[in-house]
Structure 1
Amino acid sequence: MSALKKNYPQQPLFDSWIEPAHYLRSDSPSAYFSLLTQLEGRTTKQQRSYPVASMGFVIGACDKSLDTWISQAEFWAPTRRLLHFMRVGLLFVDLDTYKLYEFAGLSAEAQLELLLRLCEAQGLPEPSLVIFSGRGLQAKWVLDSALPARVLPRWSLVQHEIGRRLAGLGADPNALDASRVLRLDQTVNSRSGEIVRVVHQSGARYDFDQLADALLPLTRAKLQELRQERAERAADPEYQKRSATRTKGHLTAIDTGALGHLRPFIGAQLAWDRLADLRTLAQLRGWTQGAPDGSRDLAVFIGASFLAQAVPNVPRFYDELRVLGREFAPHWTFREVNASASAVIDRMKRMAKGETVEYAGVQVDPRYRWRNDTLIQRFGITPDEERQLATIVSSGEAARRDAERKIQYRQEAGAVSRQVYEGNAEQKRATARLMRAQGKSWAAIAAEVGYKNADAARKSCA
């Protein structure tokens, strides 16, 4: 892990006691963070959201004698829903060491020593920050730049991998999502009476891609390589003749390379990308007050289908569905949103029970899966609209993009355009004819101008 890139900032953005300033760094007025507080004697928590730009003032004014939690990511609306996720500037894990008998009662410093040893043993870099939460620890790896929403699925994979490697110290598997809140530095933990405080600060910031490549089975470069290999195979006429499924006995083998609609990354990534496309389509069509009559029910239903793929946790799905309903059908009640998405909800419940259905010859969970052609037909997406979408595109648009990528690859490899190639060839012919008129032999012309041999030079000037 020593090869991972570390950056050490010269100047802190805020006073050092404002610990969240290390990873909540946006000055955009549309970026929000959330604080949760719990009043003494009450079990419910109160949440309020504020612009990240005002964080120094908000945290400075909050009551440190109350149990207080803060969001770890930024959102483009005053909520903590993943549908409003904007960016995240760190990786983190919540270590419930106090739940493990062998670690219960250890001091914060003793817990920290165990954490640093385990990180080294598990191939994890040294955390940028470690916070004593009053009973356990919060380990954080600050990134050198915040990650946008499109990277969320890969970020989640890294989060879960870190949690898996630190399971021996009580890593909470339910506290790894981007909407998570952790205890705020310098506030009280009423259960222990301890003050939450920073116990370790290395100052390091990490490059996310390097960190992900070191921890995940497939690096980003390998994923791109697999994607390019699949595109090249798909363009091969002989490969296209192969059947997508081959049956032998009672088993059906699915040749994923022959299925052009599959992409070499996790399903959650495609689901988020498609949901982003649906939002882009709404913007292109001017749906500022939600989807219009005739499209509203479809937008909620299809959006809920994508959401079910992106957020497979049923309780969390309900929370996100409520936000989705306000976006596409702001005048509907949540009961009406649920009614529109009832079939999606039913399949989510069946999935939670472990039910499966057959799809393309294999057993999969019963959540809806949509083909691009069906989505384009249902929404009446035009070719001009397709060009502004990332994933919901026809085979014709996909072929156009593939052709553009291949041209770019050839240019990056040093190839020239057809126009430049023909211009160079004409210049070579002109030079060869001039030399021939001067009495030079075809062999001499070929050697000087750059033809393969004398015959090639002669034919070029014919």
Structure 2
Amino acid sequence: MELTTMEQLKIEETSLVRAKGHVLFHHRNADGWVTLAQKKTGIWKQYHYKPEELAFKLSEWLGEDVYFSQNTFYKPERRIENIRQLRAVYVDVDCYQLNYDPGWVIGKLDLEIFGEILPEPNIIIFSGRGLVCIWLIEPAPHKALPLWQAIQGYFCKQLDYVGADKKSIDATRVFRIAGSINSKNGQEVVSQYRHDYRYALRDLQEEYLPELVPRQPKKPGRKPKIVYLHNIRSLHYARFLDLVRLADLREYDIKGYRELFCFLYRYWGCCLMENAEDSLQQMLEFNSELKEPLSEKEVIRATKSAEKAWLAKSDTKANEEAIKLGYPGAGYNLKNSKIIEWLDITKEEQIHLQTIIDGNEKRRRKRERDKLYQEKKRRDQGNMTREEYIKTQHDKTDNHLFNLQQVLKQNPKTKRKELAELLGVSVYRIDQLKKKLKSL
């Protein structure tokens, strides 16, 4: 039976209310840009809004296959180097691939996982065929990305047995909005809200990832595997941000280095996002921003080995072979010196980078840290810097000169010893001050 115009409007109004409730519940008091995206006739379009604009713009988007970003970006580009705030941990559960009913899966997770192995999620999105579990977190800066990824990977692993999607755990991920329609089966997306408490990343780490908490190693020099992986992620992320920063310092005019920049971007992107398709797409966007970008076909071909190297990191045989050759493992184990040589990074440029630096820059930074530490130590002990000391001495002299001048005006015949006692200085100092008065 066909719906009347009034009935259709009521349905649309209800859907819009659900969509607004979902997005605003997730991004309450957010900072940065939120991505809204939609897939129409196979074409993906996306736009970015400030959180305060979302409630007014959602009506323009609502319909089939509408998504929004779970984290925010410091500029309107949904790329990993632009992360502004990490606002949620999430797991996309494709339970339909195992022929599991979403409602049955939730019942199973309530009994076996939530509240014990993992905390209770804030939101569960029933996306039409599967579901997404969302844990809202206190806003964390982009520097927390390696820790966030460790937690994200751990949560995903715990839900692997019900169909968790390992390819949907990157920080730029978008998920369906409540009130929208999944065009694959015509089902409306529904959100189930369980609580509004926001978890702190460090609390999740300490309570659910004990392997990341420093402990006494079983053997000298050995670290638990997850700690090692966390450190590697931190290095990849720092280098990734340095690469983008270097391109920015050169105003994206990197002709002669374009293949290398895009290759490293794609490789470290794969390591961070653990998703080859997303890494490729973001690398293509990065390439398009260059002053003289490579053609899409050319840049894909020039960087293909980056994806192969990343895949080798998960290959047992490839890792064994690499270890036999003396490497930590498969993939590209690049030294800073090699990256600096490849990209001809100057000393001036290294000053602005976080981790791709040589020994000279490391020593310069250590000297700066030592100097700041010593100055802080002197201040804490009540001592002054040389500049502060000189200024204080000048102030004291000016004060003595003024007092001496006033005393001599009242009684020019006051003896040196009496003047010294009045000013609290030595007789010799009185002679110095008198000379200064004469020269003024």
State if a TM-score over 0.5 links the two structures: yes
1:117 and 2:119 correspond: no
Q: Partner amino acid for 1:37?
A: K
Q: Partner amino acid for 1:24?
A: H
Q: Partner amino acid for 1:34?
A: L
Looking at structure 1, the residues matched to 312 and 105 of structure 2 have their Cα atoms a distance apart, in angstroms, of: 42
In the other structure, the counterpart of 2:195 is 202
Give the number of the structure whose residues are more often helix, by fraction.
2
**Alignment check: 8 A CA contact 2:151 2:205 kept:** yes
Looking at structure 1, the residues matched to 305 and 182 of structure 2 have their Cα atoms a distance apart, in angstroms, of: 43
How far off is 1:325 after superposition? Answer: 1.7
| Alignment map for 1:57-456 (pairs within 5 Å) | 57-64=56-63, 66-76=64-74, 78-100=76-98, 103-104=100-101, 108=103, 112-120=106-114, 122-145=116-139, 147-191=140-184, 193-219=186-212, 222=214, 265-284=230-249, 287-288=250-251, 290-311=252-273, 313-328=275-290, 330-338=292-300, 340-341=302-303, 344=306, 347-348=309-310, 355-356=318-319, 358=322, 362-363=326-327, 366-402=330-366
How far off is 1:155 after superposition? Answer: 1.3
Q: Partner amino acid for 1:90?
A: A
Q: The residue matched to 1:266 in structure 2 has which SS?
A: helix
**Alignment check: 8 A CA contact 1:96 1:171 kept:** yes
CA offsets 1:269-306 (integer angstroms, 9 cap, x no match): 2122112112223333xx33x22444445434444454
**Alignment check: 8 A CA contact 2:378 2:384 kept:** no
Percent identity, aligned pairs only, is 22
Which structure has the larger Rg over C-alpha atoms? 2
Looking at structure 2, the residues matched to 391 and 116 of structure 1 have their Cα atoms a distance apart, in angstroms, of: 43
**Alignment check: 8 A CA contact 1:34 1:79 kept:** no
How far off is 1:308 after superposition? Answer: 5.0
CA offsets 1:236-284 (integer angstroms, 9 cap, x no match): xxxxxxxxxxxxxxxxx99689xxxxx9843232122112112223333
**Alignment check: 8 A CA contact 1:314 1:352 kept:** no
Worse-matched range after superposition: 127-136 or 207-216: 127-136
CA offsets 1:39-65 (integer angstroms, 9 cap, x no match): xxx5x353322313422122233334x
CA offsets 1:333-373 (integer angstroms, 9 cap, x no match): 12332454365456457667763554695355553332222
**Alignment check: 8 A CA contact 1:35 1:48 kept:** yes
Q: Partner amino acid for 2:354?
A: A
How far off is 1:315 after superposition? Answer: 3.4
Paired residues, what number?
363
CA RMSD of aligned residues (A): 4.2
Unaligned runs of 5+ in 1: 1-13, 227-252, 258-262, 423-462
**Alignment check: 8 A CA contact 1:34 1:80 kept:** no
**Alignment check: 8 A CA contact 1:23 1:143 kept:** no
Q: The residue matched to 1:138 in structure 2 has which SS?
A: strand
How far off is 1:142 after superposition? Answer: 1.0
- Summarize the Cα distance change of 1:298–1:51 in structure 2 as closer, same or farther, 3 Å threshold: same
Q: The residue matched to 1:134 in structure 2 has which SS?
A: coil
Looking at structure 1, the residues matched to 381 and 324 of structure 2 have their Cα atoms a distance apart, in angstroms, of: 41
Worse-matched range after superposition: 54-63 or 207-216: 54-63
In the other structure, the counterpart of 1:458 is none
Q: Partner amino acid for 1:96?
A: D
Looking at structure 1, the residues matched to 260 and 97 of structure 2 have their Cα atoms a distance apart, in angstroms, of: 46
Query: Could you state the TM-score of these two structures normalised by the residue count of structure 1?
Result: 0.64
Looking at structure 2, the residues matched to 406 and 218 of structure 1 have their Cα atoms a distance apart, in angstroms, of: 33
How far off is 1:100 after superposition? Answer: 4.5
Worse-matched range after superposition: 75-84 or 170-179: 75-84
How far off is 1:391 after superposition? Answer: 0.5
How far off is 1:92 after superposition? Answer: 1.4
Q: The residue matched to 1:324 in structure 2 has which SS?
A: helix
Q: Partner amino acid for 1:371?
A: K
**Alignment check: 8 A CA contact 1:67 1:187 kept:** yes
